[in-house]
């Protein structure tokens, strides 16, 4: 299994290739379409082939962008996917996007049938857990420039795929600050 | 923006609101009664407030649309002076932030003992709004005026539609915030 950048948001495995037994359903989203809204329960994992999406939630009155999906990345309302409780997350397409989705029960089925599938699923989870940890460290950085540097090094692709105003929100800085830091 | 594009977008928005509201109506009542903070409306109060306005406007718009002439050809929308102001007031600003407003006391359902029928009432009045939008596609709703919640003020029907659906959208966002918060506790 090739491990490109252990800190990257994009998955090091292509789930479409390693989970061939699973039926992946193609999905086209227009800008502004939602994959999931608060109150719904996540039944799928999505693999993004093209486009850009963002996951956000509200804390008190504030909207917070917490994650992006773009080419070769996995996106879903992860906690809800695992605990099967209604989510508090919204996932919105930022532009026209193509995704493949697979049902949770299909993953469970193939994992029971082959150890190889199980190890691939574990690799996928390892990637996900790593991104959550990186995100946690991001937020702890007091200096906005350091937060930006971490994400730039980890996922330069984000800056090509996602409108900067959402990256600024993700980095917890104003759009002006992000633009200034990128230009310096 | 062309007239039919304008009405079509209002129609689509209203259908989105209708579908989402049906979903929300299925949620546990404790989520619908939860407040993001002690002074804020819960989801049921939001819907009660939406129902006040959408049923009042619905009644006025329904009588206005009967008088509207048939649409002969498409034209660029030009909002009236007050209509434009009212619609703008509902929309988020350039940064996507909603400006806080105070509601009239008579339209404030805060601390009412509400149940899910607040949502049912709104679904019915929003269904009427959808019907009016559909009818508006074949009529010129900028040629007639509709009464509003303010006795002295009448708006072009096309503006009244834009205003009431903007008002719905505005409070749907408040409902989403409320719900997302309630699911965290």
What CA–CA distance (Å, rounded) separates B74 from B77? Answer: 9
Which of B 37-76 lie inside 8 A of A, CB atoms?
37
**Distance (Å) from the alpha carbon of A50 to chain B's nearest alpha carbon:** 25
- Taking an 8 Å cut-off on Cβ atoms, the answer to whether A61 and B183 are in contact is no
Q: Which of A27-41, A114-128, B59-73 has the highest mean pLDDT?
A: A27-41
Rounded to an integer, what is the distance from CA A154 to the centroid of its chain? 14
Q: For residue B139, list its beta bridge partners.
A: B70
Q: Do A40 and B31 touch (CB under 8 A)?
A: no
- Chain A positions in Cβ-Cβ contact with residue B176 (cut-off 8 Å): 37-38, 58, 90
The confidence score (pLDDT) of residue A1 equals: 45
Q: How many residues does chain B have?
A: 185
Q: Is the dihedral of CA A63, A69, A75, A76 positive or negative?
A: positive
For residue B179, which residues of chain A lie inside 8 Å, CB to CB? 38-39, 88
Alpha carbon of B18: minimum distance to chain A alpha carbons (Å): 15
Q: What pLDDT, on a 0 to 100 scale, did the predictor assign at position A2?
A: 46
CA separation for the pair B177, B185 (Å, rounded)? 13
User: What span, in angstroms and rounded, lies between the C-alpha atoms of B82 and B152?
Assistant: 12
Extract long-range pairs of B103-107: CB within 8 Å, 24+ residues apart.
B103/B49, B104/B149, B107/B49, B107/B52, B107/B53, B107/B149
Q: How far is CA A148 from CA A104, A125, A135, A137, A153, in A?
A: 34, 25, 12, 12, 9
In order of their start, the domains of chain A are: 15-142 (2.60.120.10)
Q: What percent of chain A has pLDDT over 70?
A: 93
Comparing alpha-carbon positions, the chain B residue that sits nearest to A40 is B23
Q: Nearest residue of A to residue B182 by CA position?
A: A88
Residue A18: predicted pLDDT: 87
Nearest residue in chain A measured CA to CA from B179: A38
Q: Which residues contact B35 (CB under 8 A, 6 or more apart)?
A: B41, B42, B178
For residue B35, what is the nearest residue in chain A, using CA coordinates? A60
d(CA A68, CA A56): 9
Among B23, B36, B180, beta carbon nearest to A88: B180
The residue among B9, B180, B184 with the most chain A CBs within 10 A of its CB, best to mutate, is B180
Q: How far is B177 from chain A (nearest CA, A)?
A: 6
Residues of A in contact with B31 (CB under 8 A): 39
Does the pLDDT value for residue A10 go beyond 80? no
pLDDT of chain B along its 185 residues, tens only? 999 999 999 999 999 999 999 999 999 999 999 998 888 899 999 999 999 999 999 999 999 999 999 999 999 999 999 888 889 888 876 656 666 777 776 777 777 777 888 999 999 999 999 999 999 999 999 998 888 888 788 889 999 999 999 999 999 999 999 999 999 97
| Cβ atoms < 10 Å from Cβ of B94 | 6
pLDDT of residue A24: 95
Tell me what the mean pLDDT of segment A3-25 comes to.
75
Q: Which two tokens stand for residue B120?
A: 């049912």
Q: pLDDT tens across A160-174, in order?
A: 999 999 999 999 999
Is A39 in contact with B183 (Cβ distance < 8 A)? Answer: yes
Give CA separation, B179 vs A179, B95, B175, in Å. 33, 22, 6
A90 contacts B180? CB cut-off 8 A:
yes
**Chain B residues within an 8 Å CB radius of A90:** 176, 180
Which residues in chain B are contacts of A58 at CB distance < 8 A? 176-177, 180-181
Of B36, B37, B183, the CB nearest to A38: B183
Structural contact between residues A67 and A134, judged by C-beta atoms closer than 8 angstroms: no
Domain architecture of chain B: domains with CATH: 3-182 (1.20.120.450)
**Mean pLDDT of chain A, nearest integer:** 91
Tell whether the model's pLDDT for residue A7 goes beyond 60: no
| Mean pLDDT in residue range A147-163 | 93
User: Tokens 């359902």 sit at which residue?
Assistant: B109
């Amino acid at each position: 299994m090739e491990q490109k950048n252990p800190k990257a948001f994009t998955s090091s495995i292509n789930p479409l290739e390693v989970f061939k037994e699973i039926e992946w359903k193609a999905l086209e989203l227009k800008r502004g379409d939602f994959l999931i809204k608060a109150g719904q329960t996540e039944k799928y994992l999505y693999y993004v082939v093209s486009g850009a999406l963002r996951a956000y939630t509200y804390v008190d009155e504030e909207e917070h962008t917490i994650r992006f999906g773009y080419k070769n990345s996995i996106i879903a309302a992860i906690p809800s996917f695992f605990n099967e409780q209604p989510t508090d997350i919204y996932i919105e397409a930022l532009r026209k996007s193509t995704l493949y989705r697979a049902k949770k029960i299909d993953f469970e089925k193939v994992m029971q049938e082959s150890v190889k599938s199980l190890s691939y699923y574990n690799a996928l989870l390892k990637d996900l857990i790593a991104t959550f940890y990186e995100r946690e460290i991001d937020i702890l950085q007091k200096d906005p420039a350091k937060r930006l540097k971490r994400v730039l090094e980890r996922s330069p692709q984000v800056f090509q795929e996602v409108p900067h105003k959402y990256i600024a929100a993700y980095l917890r800085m104003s759009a002006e600050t992000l633009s200034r830091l990128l230009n310096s | 923006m062309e007239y039919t594009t304008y009405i079509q977008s209002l129609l689509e928005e209203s259908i989105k609101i209708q579908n989402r509201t049906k979903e929300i109506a299925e949620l546990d009542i404790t989520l619908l009664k939860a407040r993001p903070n002690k002074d804020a409306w819960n989801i049921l109060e939001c819907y009660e407030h939406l129902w006040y306005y959408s049923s009042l406007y619905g009644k006025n718009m329904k009588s206005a649309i009967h008088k509207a002439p048939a649409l002969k050809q498409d034209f660029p929308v030009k909002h009236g002076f007050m209509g434009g102001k009212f619609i703008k007031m509902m929309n988020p600003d350039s940064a996507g932030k909603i400006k806080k407003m105070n509601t009239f006391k008579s339209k404030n359902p805060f601390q009412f003992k509400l149940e899910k029928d607040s949502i049912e009432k709104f679904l019915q009045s929003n269904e009427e709004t959808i019907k009016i939008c559909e009818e508006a596609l074949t009529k010129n709703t900028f040629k007639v005026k509709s009464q509003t919640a303010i006795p002295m003020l009448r708006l072009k029907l096309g503006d009244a539609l834009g205003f009431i659906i903007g008002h719905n959208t505005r409070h749907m966002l408040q409902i989403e915030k409320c719900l997302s918060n309630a699911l965290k506790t």
